[in-house]
Amino acid sequence: MMIMSQPYQWVAIKHPRLEKHQLTFWLVQPESASLFVSGNKQLKLKYHISEVQQQHKEGILTFGGAFSNHLVATAVTCSQIGIPCTGLVRTDQLDVSNPTMSACRQAGMQLIALHRQQYKQRQDPSWLCQLQQEYPDRLIVPEGGTSPYGVNGVAELNLAVTPTGKTDVLITATGSGGTLAGLAIGHPDCQTLGIAVVKDTSLPGKIAALSQQQSNWHLIDNFVGKGYGRFDDSLLQFCLDFKQQTTISLEPIYTGKAMQAIFKLIAEDYFKPGTNLVFLHTGGLQGLAGLLYRGLISQQHYDLLMN
Ligand SMILES: Cc1ncc(COP(=O)(O)O)c(C=O)c1O
């Protein structure tokens, strides 16, 4: 059940604003054969998968929204290695024709709807204990794959040296906090910066608890906009322009929201001249099909962002 570690692709980002502020900027993408298991996903799942074996479980049970990158990454990974999985989905009514749910189903994930009130219990220890009794053969993986196992997988990334020298600031989009915590642990000599894409006042506490006493991380939470999953025309246009200028695909929920924030921070002189910035591309492009499905982006936008 061992998952091999992935090589990365470094892409130099060129932009007049970077030149003006004397910054170098690298985007790094873990290489992936699957759109569904891209970015941070394989890393976050790696030690959960080995834990299934260690704890003599048969499969995985996890949580996510109806368009969750983590749910579909888990479904596809479990299918690839031949273990069963169950997804508890935050929704009042399962729509199995939504592209994410459909991919989960195709990969063999058992899908169970949890209405919003029930879903709120997903971190409640006594509810989790009950759930474990109901599903004794499943390893329960928290939402987003964020647990000490998920963090340890991300901590194995080695992004401390870019093709042009030492990384000064390593940046990621932050949802449940595991990726930022893992980057901080794995890069004790770099500053790590999370751009929050969710409104969650408990997030700094969670990251502190997961980051093994590291203090080299900082969370910026004023670019969430109207909330998780919400975006305006300017953010969508930013993703389209970025694609045209760099050929890199972003989506407006995670990577695009974080990237737009980075360019705003640069304009505000947030980074010292001479800084070598690195952005971890955490994947999530499967989510664009869900935005198209809900009519939140047009077919033309989808084609421009994906191709
Ligand atoms: C595409 C993408 N980027 C960033 C993140 C945020 O990672 P984390 O939840 O570890 O903060 C997620 C969630 O896992 C994601 O799906």
How confident is the model over 34-50, as pLDDT tens digits?
999 999 999 999 999 99
Domain of 13, in residue numbers = 8-35+151-306
Ligand 1: residues with CB < 6 A are: 39-40, 69-70, 144, 146, 173-180, 254-255, 282-284
Which residue among 97, 116, 148 closes a domain?
Answer: 148
Strand order in the sheet with 59-65: 110-114, 85-90, 59-65, 138-141
Which residue among 101, 125, 148 closes a domain?
Answer: 148
Mutation choice for ligand 1 from 176, 199, 250, 305, CB with most ligand atoms inside 8 A = 176
- Would you place residue 7 in the very low, low, confident or very high pLDDT band (cuts 50, 70, 90)? confident
Mutation choice for ligand 1 from 28, 34, 40, CB with most ligand atoms inside 8 A = 40
User: What is the distance in A from the centroid of ligand 1 to the CA of 55?
Assistant: 26
Which residue among 148, 164, 193 closes a domain?
Answer: 148
End-to-end CA distance of the chain: 33
How confident is the model over 275-290, as pLDDT tens digits?
999 999 999 999 999 9
User: What is the distance in A from the centroid of ligand 1 to the CA of 182?
Assistant: 12
197 CA: nearest ligand 1 atom: 6
**Is the pLDDT reported for residue 13 higher than 90?**
yes
* Residue 160 and residue 270 share a domain: yes
* Residue 270 and residue 296 share a domain: yes
Tokens 């368009």 belong to residue: 67
Q: What is the mean pLDDT of residues 296-304?
A: 98
Query: What's the predicted TM-score (pTM) here?
Result: 0.96
**136 in a structural domain:** yes
CA distance 89 to 115: 8
Cβ atoms of 23 and 273 closer than 8 Å: yes
**Is the pLDDT reported for residue 224 higher than 60?**
yes
Cβ atoms of 48 and 152 closer than 8 Å: no
User: How is residue 158 written in tokens?
Assistant: 């080695």
178 CA: nearest ligand 1 atom: 10
Residue 5: per-residue pLDDT: 56
**Is the pLDDT reported for residue 1 higher than 50?**
no
Question: Out of 104-108, 115-119, 152-156, 197-201, which region has the weakest mean confidence (pLDDT)?
Answer: 115-119
User: What is the distance in A from the centroid of ligand 1 to the CA of 286?
Assistant: 13
User: What is the distance in A from the centroid of ligand 1 to the CA of 20?
Assistant: 30
CA distance 152 to 149: 5
What is the total residue count of the chain?
A: 307
**Can you give the CATH number for the domain in which 67 is found?**
3.40.50.1100
**Is the pLDDT reported for residue 6 higher than 70?**
no
- Would you place residue 303 in the very low, low, confident or very high pLDDT band (cuts 50, 70, 90)? very high
What residues pair up with 192 in beta bridges, in sequence order?
170, 217
Q: What is the mean pLDDT of residues 45-68?
A: 97
**Is the pLDDT reported for residue 2 higher than 60?**
no
**Is the pLDDT reported for residue 3 higher than 60?**
no
User: What is the distance in A from the centroid of ligand 1 to the CA of 143?
Assistant: 10
Mutation choice for ligand 1 from 69, 171, 260, CB with most ligand atoms inside 8 A = 69
User: How is residue 31 written in tokens?
Assistant: 């290489």
For residue 78, which amino acid is it?
C
**Is the pLDDT reported for residue 237 higher than 90?**
yes
* Residue 301 and residue 195 share a domain: yes
Residue 32: per-residue pLDDT: 87
251 CA: nearest ligand 1 atom: 1
176 CA: nearest ligand 1 atom: 9
Average pLDDT for the chain = 96
Cα→Cα distances 27→126, 228, 247, Å: 41, 23, 12
Residue 261 has phi, psi (to 5 degrees) of -65, -40
